[in-house]
Chain A
């Protein structure tokens, strides 16, 4: 016994410190500090004068004694509305496309394939312009709807690949068991395959949602006053590019990180036991 105890060193105290989140937090803070320092250094060398105190009024302002959303928050609100609606549509389009690609129907597969290839091989900005400048006037679709259509069609194409991968990752025994019990194809998807597939694809689906929120900044190109366009306007009014663009990036970050965190929680909650 004695020899063994000598050979195996006792765990040292700082062993736990090394593995604790404190270390990660420390590293993160250090990294941020270095970045900020570099930035300040650069700014002061180029003679930039920081005026952070002027920023808050563009987020929240007081008009006639009442708290009102400033232009940035108004822009954020439009960004959230466009992203929210597009997200739902993108997932519906993605699921339908995936099901079509996996279906027996030759026409269905061809349509899905044509849609996928068109969307994935052209820039989203061009798609937005085509919908807004060409389809818009012809079909009478206004700005907001054009933006939602462009975003959901674009992200839907990528989401469909995620759905398809999730569906085909489910073991074929699950289909066989379900069919052998007399369940229809629709019920098999609804109660057996999709509940398992969606649990599996939550992480890639979340990054797709994050992409959608980020890509929504492109709608500023058709003069929708989303967060990005509002920020541009504020910058041109105030000449505070550093402060405003940092704030804008921060606002996007708050939205996307919140989304990731919520989905993460969901994932743990619905995890299949075992």
Chain B
């Protein structure tokens, strides 16, 4: 457990269900509360509903029932609320999803200018700041395809951060990376965690979980199986499914 002060609840998830067409339940009866400045790691086997849950948190995925409130704004059918929440919640994807037709600078500028209504000059200031933060300012004029996977993912983090989000969601941010590039991305994320960013991270990087996470949720078949600190999962996991999973990834 880190020793930073934790704030009030910024995300409240209550009784969320999500079933995909075809009747496969992705998320079942999921409830959890996330505090400001907290780092939550979600683990679980593939197909356990982690990514679906994460996508429900910013409305990329439509849930069937249950409620989600982010920073006091209910995520509901109201389009305004949805856009408002997306402004406050940044997301980083497994496959980076940079815009290939835009330079690094324009990737980071776009939402600042269209959503935050900044001028190009204002946006550029923030863009340079954020690219410096992720250590990739020298690639500001490059196109995504000219970057390595690790570099692309760092640009994607900068792009999300430039919106000054209150929460950052990470969907397996290092799973698509070559091993030698994983650390450059994890380092950026660790710094972010230490600065007090609220983070929900779907990952299997136990080292990351141990170093910066406040707590860990282990999910299987759309449900919470076990929660606890990273240390708890290392030393004394209770459930059989958790033990089995950990024995496979550690």
User: Least Cβ distance of B22 to chain A in Å?
Assistant: 18
With contacts A182-B86, A187-B114 known, is A272 near B143, CB below 8 A?
yes
The residue from A176, A178, A181, A196 contacting B100, defined by CB atoms under 8 A apart: A196
- Indicate whether A274 sits within 8 Å of B145 (C-beta atoms), given known contacts A180-B91, A199-B101: yes
Find the residue from A173, A180, A199 having the highest chain B CB count within 10 A: A180
**Dominant SS at the B interface?**
mixed
Q: Does A191 contact B (CB under 8 A)?
A: yes
CB B71 to nearest CB in A, in angstroms, measures 14
Complexed CA–CA distance, A173 and B58 (Å): 14
Which chain A residues numbered 195 to 212 have a C-beta less than 8 Å away from chain B? 195-196, 199
A237 CB to closest chain B CB, in angstroms? 54
B182 CB, nearest partner CB in chain A, Å:
20
Indicate whether B146 reaches chain A with its CB closer than 8 angstroms: yes
Find out whether the CB atom of A184 lies under 8 angstroms from the CB atom of B97: no
Measured between beta carbons, the chain B residues less than 8 angstroms from A195 are 101
Asked if B87 and A182 make an inter-chain contact with CB atoms under 8 angstroms apart, the answer reads: yes
CA distance A176 to B144 in the complex (A): 17
Q: Which residue of B lies closest to A180 (CB)?
A: B91
Q: Are A181 and B99 in contact (CB under 8 A)?
A: no
Minimum CB–CB distance from A167 to chain B (whole Å) comes to 14
Contacts of A272 in B (CB 8 A): 100-101, 143, 145
Contacts of A184 in B (CB 8 A): 83, 114
| A195 vs B101: C-alpha distance when bound (angstroms) | 7
Interface 1/0 per residue, B203-214 and A, CB below 8 Å: 000000000000
**Quick one: which of B55, B110, B144 has the most chain A CB within 10 A?**
B110
**Per-position binary interface string of chain B over residues 90-103, scored 1 when its CB falls under 8 Å from any chain A CB and 0 otherwise:** 11010101111100
A199 CA / B243 CA spacing, docked (Å)? 50
Interface membership of A177, Cβ < 8 A: yes
Contact between A173 and B95, CB atoms less than 8 A apart = yes
Chain A residue at minimum C-beta to C-beta distance from B61:
A176
Residues of A257-274 whose CB lies within 8 A of B: 272-274
Asked if A179 and B144 make an inter-chain contact with CB atoms under 8 angstroms apart, the answer reads: no
Across the interface, A176 reaches (CB within 8 A) one of B60, B83, B89, B101, namely B60
CB of A124 closer than 8 Å to a CB of B:
no
Considering the complex, give the chain B residue whose CB is closest to the CB of A186.
Answer: B114
Let me know if A180 and B145 touch, CB within 8 A: no
Give complex CA distance A176, B90 in Å. 11
Residue A183 lies at the interface, judged by CB distance under 8 Å to chain B:
yes
Q: Are A196 and B115 touching (Cβ within 8 A)?
A: no
Residues from chain A with a CB closer than 8 A to the CB of B101 are 195-196, 199, 272
Write out the residue numbers on chain A whose beta carbons fall within 8 Å of the beta carbon of B95.
173
Cβ-closest chain A residue relative to B87:
A182
Contact of A177 among B55, B98, B169 (CB under 8 A): B98
Tell me the A150-182 residues at the B interface (CB within 8 Å): 171, 173-174, 176-182
- Is B189 on the interface with A (CB-CB < 8 A)? no
Residues of A within 8 A of B55 (CB): 176
Which residues on A sit within 8 Å (CB–CB) of B91?
A: 176-177, 180
Q: Is A141 part of the contact surface with B, judged by Cβ < 8 Å?
A: no
Q: Assuming A180-B60, A272-B101, what are 16 further A-B pairs, CB within 8 angstroms?
A: A173-B93, A174-B97, A174-B99, A176-B97, A177-B98, A177-B156, A181-B110, A182-B86, A183-B110, A183-B111, A184-B83, A184-B114, A187-B115, A191-B110, A192-B99, A192-B110
6 contacts between A and B (CB under 8 A): A174-B99, A177-B91, A181-B110, A183-B111, A187-B115, A272-B101
Closest 10 CB pairs of A and B: A274-B145, A177-B97, A181-B111, A273-B143, A180-B91, A173-B97, A182-B87, A182-B86, A182-B115, A187-B114
Chain B residues in the interface with A (C-beta under 8 A): 55, 58-60, 83, 86-87, 89-91, 93, 95, 97-101, 110-111, 114-115, 143-146, 156, 159-160, 163, 169
> Residues of A with Cβ closer than 8 Å to B?
171, 173-174, 176-184, 187, 191-192, 195-196, 199, 272-274
